[in-house]
């Protein structure tokens, strides 16, 4: 292994922890309170978050729950799910998560 490969490895480890912190803040983990307020099961919200993390930052930076309005999420999610090859069930979970995770404003 050449030395710059080792540097690249360290750089990616260093960065993965800051990405995780950012994700925890901007794409909050579903909570029982979030489930109660949205009327969506915790399992479904968790599935939606997993779909979001895995698929929605592949072509562009993640667009986080709070950065897009509720109305726009309804419009954008079907097309983006199609882009990402996400199933209908996962698409529903994704939309439910994005709406539930928005801060109350
Ligand atoms: C295959 C590539 C691809 C994937 C995967 C993808 N997107 Fe996108 N996304 C795009 C492109 C290209 C644009 C800009 C053009 C457009 O609006 O269609 C975009 C734009 C957006 C926008 C801005 C829309 C607007 O009109 O301003 C949002 C929000 C978004 N994506 C959310 C998501 C979410 C949520 C997912 C996960 C399901 C996702 N994207 C997955 C390609 C992708």
Q: Domains in the chain, ordered, with CATH?
A: 28-101 (1.10.760)
pLDDT at 21: 82
Enter the pTM of the model: 0.86
- Give the pair of three-digit tokens for residue 64: 């986080």
pLDDT at 7: 56
CA dihedral 52, 58, 59, 62 (to 10 degrees): 40
Q: Of all protein residues, whose CA lies closest to atom 27 belonging to ligand 1?
A: 76
Query: Which of 83, 90, 98 has most ligand 1 atoms within 8 Å of its beta carbon, as the pocket-test mutant?
Result: 83
Pick the atom of ligand 1 nearest to 81's CA: 38
Coil vs helix vs strand at 101 = helix
Query: Residue 31's closest CA among 13, 21, 45?
Result: 45
Cβ neighbors of 85 (< 8 A, separation 6 or more) are 55
Q: Which residues line ligand 1 (CB under 6 A)?
A: 55-56, 58-60, 63, 68, 76-77, 80-81, 83-84, 86, 94
pLDDT at 18: 77
Q: Can you give the pLDDT of all 105 residues of the chain as single tens digits?
A: 555 655 555 555 566 677 778 888 999 999 999 999 999 999 999 999 999 999 999 999 999 999 999 999 999 999 999 999 999 999 999 999 999 999 864
pLDDT at 20: 77
């Amino acid at each position: 292994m050449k030395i710059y490969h080792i540097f690249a490895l360290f750089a990616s480890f260093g960065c993965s922890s800051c990405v995780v912190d950012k994700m925890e803040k901007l794409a909050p983990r579903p909570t029982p309170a979030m489930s109660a307020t949205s009327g969506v099961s915790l399992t479904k919200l968790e599935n939606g978050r997993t779909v979001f993390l895995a698929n929605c930052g592949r072509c562009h930076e993640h667009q986080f729950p709070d950065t897009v309005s509720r109305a726009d999420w309804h419009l954008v999610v079907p097309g983006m799910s199609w882009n990402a090859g996400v199933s209908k069930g996962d698409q529903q979970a994704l939309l439910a998560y994005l709406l539930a995770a928005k801060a109350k404003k």
